[in-house]
Structure 1
Amino acid sequence: MTNQKNRFFTLVFSCCPGAGEMYMGLYKQGISLMLLFFGTVAVSAWTRLDELCILLPVVWCYSFFHTHNLRQMPAETFAEVEDKYIFEERFDFREDWKLTEKHQRLFGWLLLFLGLSIIWRTGLDLLGTFFQMSNLFWYLNRSIPQVIMALIVLYGALRLMRAPKDGAAEESMETAEEEKTTN
């Protein structure tokens, strides 16, 4: 794999998050960045949380400059670059997709915030439609999937935040076994 790619095509592909990395031969990194960028757009549009779009310039700039840094690396250094998914170091995707307790709580709080935001915005919009009864049925039809998704997200957040620690689960199982043997 070589990083001596055409400057013009490197510039063109680096304008789309992930495409520049894929042009350089780093497909896992490119797919990760594309999914992060376009997934944020999709979730933001679907949940109507425009605040999520604040992440888009960050992902775009990272991808753009990362591509150009890869192109300017010496060939020996570029040959040592490992093609791996962006979040592979933070999460172990090979073993049961478990998060560490710290990441589990953080992800739980993020999901809780996302779910509450969706319900809040939907509730405010719903109250506004009570004053315009002609739009009520149209709005209910449009907002029911969003409310259901928000409830699912909230349920997942609460499950993650209340999940027992690995050691606590083992201790409770041992205690239950001890109680059975004493009876």
Structure 2
Amino acid sequence: MTTPRSKMVALVLNMLPGLGHYYWGRRVRSLLYPLLFFGSLCGGFVLGVMTASEGLFVLGVLAAVFFWGISMLDLFIALLREPRMATVYDEYGRPMQTRGDVREETERFYTILLSFIPGLGHFQLGLMQRGLSFLIAFFGLGTFLVFISVFTNESAFLIFLGVLPIIWLYCMFDVVKLVNRKHEGELLFDRSLFEELEIGREHGRRSKMFATLLSVFPGAGQMYLGLQQRGMQLMILFLGSIYILDEFRLSLFLFLIPLIWCYALFDGLQQASRYGREPLEDRPLIKGGEAQRRWLGIGLITLGIYFVFSTMVLPLIHTLLPDWHLDYQARTYLKTGIVAAILIGGGIKLMTGSRQKVMPPEPLAPEPPSFESGRELGE
């Protein structure tokens, strides 16, 4: 009895060199490639530490990457040369894999493999417009961001390159979904991403795809889906955290930035998946109670006083007393004092927060005697 094996599984497993070869039954290569890969890494690391040379470590990493590429190429060629299997039967004579199953598995394998370059998988399915929109969106955005960064000499624009993995992943999932629909007998329509967005807008529905892409920027996807308060708070929280951490040089709390970004991203993806299946409720992260508004007002007043003092008062003092160097000292101590006051105040607020007092239930008042009960007592 022959056990059917998936080419796609073999290719994914071989991301760890040798594991795909072992799955495909190539025992010698499954031992050779891990030995070369990890041997290059370990050898480069040991030699780099012993000689205190970064060049040997980099050389070991490059050798490991080279052997990884050779392993992937070797397995890819073996998968391409694999002949199409005929019908396989089990011990009871029942067919386990038909020619149609092999044909579908082969088509799925080639389509997903081509989709590693955005758009090519859609071309394989005959969806030229959709594939072209993914191809332009991926490579066009990357080229535009690099051009703008070089032209303006500002590397900050490169942060938006994080959108490219989102487009790539969405393209992969879109190809898998379309291949499955084709094998289920559904008719595929060649619509570009912009045509789907326009069709959804005409029918009064928002595009889940566009909401997913907008969720890369915190709050934008939520606002697109109509969750204005939630999206605005996430956007203010993300941008405000970046500005405050940079202004006060709080490198200790930089871990908050990726945490906020990941929370906003997965919240946007969750809201997009729920859209159309159930009503969305615009729940703000911070409810606008009286206490929250008071603390927000205190924070804005504190920041306003800080900016007035640092941009107007300190330059005037430095002009009048240039030899005292009060500018640098005041800025340093003022930032430290503000941060310390915020941390201490927040800790005290958390420790001595207002607790809701549980009031005992009021005793029930006795019911007045009715006319009938009084008559019964008289009797």
- TM-score, with structure 1 as normaliser: 0.53
Computed over aligned residues only, the root mean square deviation of the Cα atoms, in angstroms, reads: 3.5
For the 8 Å contact 1:17–1:33, the answer to whether it is kept is yes
Cα deviation, 1:53-93, whole Å, max 9, x if unaligned, reads 2111122122222222222225241x1x21021133xxxx4
For the 8 Å contact 1:44–1:52, the answer to whether it is kept is yes
Cα deviation, 1:11-62, whole Å, max 9, x if unaligned, reads 4421210111101110111012112212221221122111222111122122
**Alpha-carbon distance in 2 for matches of 1:167, 1:70:** 32
Q: How far 1:139 moved relative to its partner?
A: 2.4
1:94 partner amino acid? G
The one of 281, 299, 307 equivalent to 1:82 is 281
1:32-181 correspondence runs (5 A): 32-73=233-274, 75-77=276-278, 79=279, 81-88=280-287, 93-97=288-292, 137-150=326-339, 152-153=341-342, 156-157=345-346, 160=349, 163=352
SS of equivalent residue, structure 1 residue 86? coil
Q: How many residue pairs get matched?
A: 125
**Alpha-carbon distance in 1 for matches of 2:348, 2:286:** 22
For the 8 Å contact 1:21–1:29, the answer to whether it is kept is yes
**Alpha-carbon distance in 2 for matches of 1:165, 1:66:** 30
For the 8 Å contact 1:32–1:86, the answer to whether it is kept is yes
For the 8 Å contact 1:3–1:73, the answer to whether it is kept is no
SS of equivalent residue, structure 1 residue 87? coil
**Identity score, percent:** 25
- Of structures 1 and 2, the larger Rg is shown by 2
For the 8 Å contact 1:33–1:63, the answer to whether it is kept is yes
Cα deviation, 1:136-156, whole Å, max 9, x if unaligned, reads 655214314314424543663
If asked which structure has higher relative contact order (CA below 8 Å, sep 6+), I would say 1
Cα deviation, 1:119-169, whole Å, max 9, x if unaligned, reads xxxxxxxxxxxxxxx99655214314314424543663576378596799x
Unaligned runs of 5+ in 1: 99-133, 169-183
2:232 partner amino acid? I
**Alpha-carbon distance in 2 for matches of 1:53, 1:16:** 18
**Alpha-carbon distance in 2 for matches of 1:167, 1:62:** 29
Unaligned runs of 5+ in 2: 1-203, 294-322, 358-379
Q: How far 1:95 moved relative to its partner?
A: 4.6
For the 8 Å contact 1:3–1:71, the answer to whether it is kept is no
Q: Point out the structure with the larger helix share.
A: 1
- TM-score, with structure 2 as normaliser: 0.28
Distance 1:19 1:157, change over 3 A: closer
**Alpha-carbon distance in 2 for matches of 1:74, 1:142:** 48
